[in-house]
Amino acid sequence: MSGRTEDRCKFSTYGYACSKPVEHGRYLCEEHATAKCSSCGQPATHGCDFCGQFVCGAPLCDECTYGTDETKSSGAWGFMNHIHVSKPEFALKHSHARLLAALTETANAIGEWSRPTGANGMTTPRNNHPLLLALSNANAAIARAEGRRP
């Protein structure tokens, strides 16, 4: 590796880049390439720059930032009311992703529950069973959200 600045990790916190060596053509080191945003779970691009008693440094993506939770006491120094949130222009996108993930998890749980097995002692439920109707509606909503035909 040549050590050129373009071959160094660009992940930065509080204005200081990581600068660990990276493979040519990559911009994040092995550690930061796997970092997930502490707010939305997307790949992180930088650390939180909030400075309380110390610099926060939690991984964030370009669509998230830090803020203050006005419902909590501020305390003296530190992070008592420090939070990581979506930037306003991305809040709806992140909310949609969280709802879709929850809906998918629910649909999977209903799907598993509704399958008769010897262990759960179930018989095959009718198609108009409330949970199967909910599963059908959830799967249709998931398909629409993913751009597929329900």
Per-position DSSP letters for 87-150, written without gaps between them: -GGGHHHHHHHHHHHHHHHHHHHHHHHTS--TTTTPPPPPTT-HHHHHHHHHHHHHHHHTT---
pLDDT tens digits, residue range 95-147? 888 888 888 888 777 776 666 665 556 666 677 777 777 778 888 888 877 77
Q: Determine the Cα–Cα distance for residues 100 and 125; give it in Å rounded to an integer.
A: 26
- Look at residue 119 in the predicted model and tell me its pLDDT: 59
The secondary structure of residue 32, as a DSSP letter, is H
The CA-CA-CA angle for residues 127, 141, 88, to 5°, reads 155
Cross-strand bridge partners of residue 8: 21
